[in-house]
A and B are shown apart, each in its own frame.
Chain A
Amino acid sequence: ETGVTQSPTHLIKTRGQQVTLRCSSQSGHNTVSWYQQALGQGPQFIFQYYREEENGRGNFPPRFSGLQFPNYSSELNVNALELDDSALYLCASSPMEGSYNEQFFGPGTRLTVL
């Protein structure tokens, strides 16, 4: 069984640029959530996707957007990058919406904005 994978591992961008991060869900999981983790902080929920639709969003501006594909993989897009967007971005998948099943996290993408 393949776990959650994310790409790239590390990324460096400059302020104002746009970035796309990718996530492949664990096999059989149809729900994907994205989190942002600033240095020294706990992860913060960005949004969740279920059946290719956004299904819940945290306190993040619209320049954070996402997609989920029919194979349940997902992308996180961030436009107009700001210095404070520098963080570890985590993707998590789970088997179904509304369940109490645990979420399985990927290793994350470290984004640095200069």
Chain B
Amino acid sequence: DAKTTQPTSMDCAEGRAANLPCNHSTISGNEYVYWYRQIHSQGPQYIIHGLKNNETNEMASLIITEDRKSSTLILPHATLRDTAVYYCIVRTRGSSNTGKLIFGQGTTLQVKP
């Protein structure tokens, strides 16, 4: 699976958009980009995933560059409850690792009042 690089930490003002970048320059054509977040002392929570088109759901938007080497997770109106560690994961298809998610260090997002 391709490796991802994320900033260690970011701050965001409450009510503003939070833009979390992720680099995955070695991504291959059949790999999806997934985002999860982990609020303190809880299990990770799925946010969104995409292949090459931009995606949006009720939680966030995912913007993937045309060359697919990087992506940005956008929380349009961050709240204090969005304070968490955000993980960008690139996942490949394979019978031996279908459930395997490779978590890096993630980005700690601190939303401030």
Return the contact of A97 from the options B43, B45, B98, B105 (Cβ within 8 A). B98
Total interface residues on A, CB under 8 Å, equals 29
B43 and A31 form a contact (CB under 8 A)? no
Return the contact of A56 from the options B32, B49, B97 (Cβ within 8 A). B97
Contacts A104-B46, A106-B43 given: A56-B100 contact, CB under 8 Å? yes
Chain B contact residues: helix, strand, loop or mixed: loop
Return the contact of B87 from the options A31, A42, A94, A102 (Cβ within 8 A). A42
Cβ proximity bits A100-114 to B, threshold 8 Å, 1 near / 0 not: 101111111000000
Q: How far is the CA of A67 from the CA of B93 in the complex (A)?
A: 24
Q: Which of B32, B91, B100 has the most CB of A within 10 A?
A: B100
Chain A residues at the B interface, C-beta cutoff of 8 Å: 4, 31-33, 35, 41-45, 48, 50, 55-56, 58, 90, 92, 94, 97-100, 102-108
